[in-house]
């Protein structure tokens, strides 16, 4: 069975037209680029349930997930690996940067000219930047920075401002984190 071009299909899932996945496209991999032109991933209900189980508890065992959704441990393990390979999810430890010695967190609004994606890619390669998004509105890009102190922040800001097409920056220092969740479920 054919599928819609630009649409990645998670094994056991459906393509955008609702038809079941065929066995012939088993090794198909979507783009990890989440921007314009990225492959669209369509998940079946079982994959969505796995994602939701892991959003509730990223350390939940494959056996426990399987029991909750009616799959074997091996089937859950395979599906999780496919979801990771497809760029649908990551399983990571979410830490409190303050507890790890990173005492300054900021969001930097950036105005630039020229190719926004090129600037975004350049900034994404900076180790201290953990979030890069192309936006509409007052800024062209927003980047989140986690750093040790104000001196470290100043050094990062200097590097950001040295990017040739960056026109200006505005820094928003985080004073206190009140909410941070990753449990928005699936659609």
Instruction: Supply the Cα-derived Rg of the chain in whole angstroms.
Output: 20
Tell me which residue of 187, 140, 179, 181 sits closest to 58, measured CA to CA. Answer: 181
Task: Give pLDDT, residue 104.
Answer: 92
pTM for this entry:
0.67
CATH of domain 97-173: 3.30.70.920
Residues of the chain with pLDDT under 50: 1-37
Domain 7-85 and domain 97-173 have a common topology:
no
Domain boundaries, the chain: 7-85, 97-173
* 7-85: CATH, from 3.30.2230.10, 1.10.1200.10, 1.10.1040.10, 1.10.10.10: 1.10.10.10
| Helices assigned H by DSSP within the chain | 45-56, 62-69, 73-85, 116-124, 150-161
CA dihedral 39, 42, 43, 48 (to 10 degrees): 90
Q: What is the pLDDT of residues 129-162, one digit of tens each?
A: 999 999 999 999 999 999 999 999 999 999 999 9
């Amino acid at each position: 069975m054919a599928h819609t071009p630009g649409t990645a299909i998670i094994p056991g899932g459906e393509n955008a037209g609702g038809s079941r996945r065929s066995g012939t496209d088993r090794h198909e991999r979507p783009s990890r680029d989440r921007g314009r032109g990225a492959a669209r991933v369509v998940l079946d209900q079982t994959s969505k349930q796995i994602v939701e189980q892991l959003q509730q508890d990223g350390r939940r065992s494959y056996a426990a997930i399987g029991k909750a959704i009616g799959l074997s441990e091996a089937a859950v393990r395979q599906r999780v690996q496919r979801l990771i390979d497809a760029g649908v999810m990551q399983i990571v430890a979410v830490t409190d940067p303050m507890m790890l010695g990173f005492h300054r967190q900021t969001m930097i609004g950036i105005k630039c000219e020229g190719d926004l994606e090129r600037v975004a890619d350049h900034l994404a390669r900076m180790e201290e930047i953990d979030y890069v998004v192309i936006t509409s509105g007052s800024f062209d890009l927003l980047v989140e920075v986690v750093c040790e102190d104000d001196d470290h922040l100043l050094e990062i800001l200097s590097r950001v401002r040295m990017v040739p097409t960056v026109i200006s920056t505005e820094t928003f220092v985080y004073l206190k984190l009140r909410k941070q969740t990753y449990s928005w479920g699936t659609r």
